[in-house]
Chain A
């Protein structure tokens, strides 16, 4: 019995601790997503000289619960002409990949509790960064399939536009982190965080990379000013036109969880991960992610939407060359110094 309990996986922690930790982290991420929607509405409201939602509970704190109950109670309609399996599977694919990418982000140093090792991450792979980009690209399939399987012109056009945008900015996103990988010498996020502790936060030497990462990331998660996929005036609702009730809720969830993951990734790669003076690791991680999320919300409130051709032009003609030059210069400097 004790042999089963002590059986450790590849990362040195028992399997049942990994299970419990996964359950806890998934719940924390979903809770974070729910209250991120409230935070966004309140902060956007305050920036626009109005209150956000403040009726649902004290300071509107029960608003996400009210939204959840509303979505669950709504009719999840099913268009007759829609392709069954793909129509149902698309939101799940989007949500699943969004949650999976969060699993490799380290949020703490790892602890030893009652003789068992508890790691500060759910999984650590030697190619963690590659996993994030790969699974993120599979998430794009969720949007393509969702729009196509709805068998509606708005949905199809919306999903085509979305995917063109996401694929374009994916390249710049991957190139912008190349500088960090060169400096840290590893693709594993845990190693990158450790390297930042030894060195300096990569924000300082890699500020160009950070900027490109932020802009490409805003486009990757379809946030303003790159939120053409959800521009009501242009596309009704884009790829989620024909979705209602909880299926629509899953798409929204995947979008916000992607945002949280991206912020977590930016914190890990550029802002020193969970390192910080006298507060525990996870608290610092949450604080830094919160600051980045605030920046994203701030961008949404301030900037007008980019037109589709402006968007594509920016992605290919501005961001990609800048990311490439950043990678090349970093490589030269790393070799030279």
Chain B
């Protein structure tokens, strides 16, 4: 152990040296750290290739949600208004993002791969009502603001489990 006060003076030397080192802070928003492909961000509802929505309004996601923030009201698919390939579709589908904890249980519970968690986390709004995302908002393609890490490197190689988006 260095004798006092030389130990204290060595401490002063350490802090003084640090002034001339480059800070390790990453300046957001000038630099946005890339997110990983399986990052749990804002939810997305998906469609089939032919344009029909995958969601059939079964509410398994609402049942699985620990924060109880998903609201699903189903309606029958009629002949002239066919929205999903099943018997029913989700007429009302709302997620309250101020209550959501982004755990991903809804994604795990969905049997049709209709809902997944995407990569956006910049979800600030000016009022709480604006944070209740409706079905059209969730169906819409999100605006990519943050770069994503290399999917080949960080996503699973098993094609069945690969990230949908």
Contacts and interface: CB of A to CB of B under 8 A. Distances in A.
Contact of A50 (B8, B16, B25): B25
A48 B27 CA distance: 16
Nearest to B19: A46
Interface string B1-26: 00000001001101110110101110
A38 to B, nearest CB: 16
B8 to A, nearest CB: 7
Nearest to A46: B19
A50 B15 contact: no
A302 interface: yes
A19 interface: no
Contacts of A1: none
Contacts of A47: 15-16, 18-19
B15 A49 contact: no
A298 B14 CA distance: 11
A173 B12 CA distance: 24
A302 B23 contact: no
A301 B25 CA distance: 18
A228 to B, nearest CB: 19
Interface residues of A, number: 13
B101 to A, nearest CB: 29
Contact of B18 (A49, A51, A299): A49
Contact of B8 (A46, A48, A301, A303): A303
B12 A302 contact: yes
Interface string A30-57: 0000000000000101111111000000
A170 B152 CA distance: 68
Contact of B24 (A49, A298, A299, A303): A49
Contacts of B12: 298-299, 302
A277 B25 CA distance: 41
A178 to B, nearest CB: 24
Contacts of B24: 49-50
Contacts of A46: 18-19, 23
A298 B8 CA distance: 12
A46 B23 CA distance: 7
Interface of B (DSSP majority class):
helix
A72 B159 CA distance: 60
A48 B18 CA distance: 7
Nearest to A55: B27
Nearest to B14: A302
A301 B11 CA distance: 10
B21 A298 contact: no
A51 B21 CA distance: 11
Nearest to A54: B27
A51 B15 contact: no
A303 B18 contact: no
Interface in A258-301: 298-299, 301
A43 B23 contact: no
Given A43-B19, A46-B19, A47-B16, A303 B25 contact: no
A50 B19 contact: no
B16 A298 contact: yes
A212 to B, nearest CB: 14
A298 B15 CA distance: 8
A43 B20 CA distance: 11
Contacts of A301: 15
Interface string B25-38: 10100000000000
Nearest to B9: A302
13 contacts: A45-B23, A47-B15, A47-B16, A49-B24, A50-B23, A50-B24, A50-B25, A298-B15, A298-B16, A301-B15, A302-B11, A302-B12, A303-B11
Given A46-B18, A47-B18, A50-B23, 8 more contacts: A43-B19, A46-B23, A47-B19, A50-B25, A51-B25, A298-B16, A302-B8, A302-B14
Interface of A: 43, 45-51, 298-299, 301-303
Top 3 nearest A-B pairs (CB, nearest first) are A47-B15, A302-B15, A46-B19
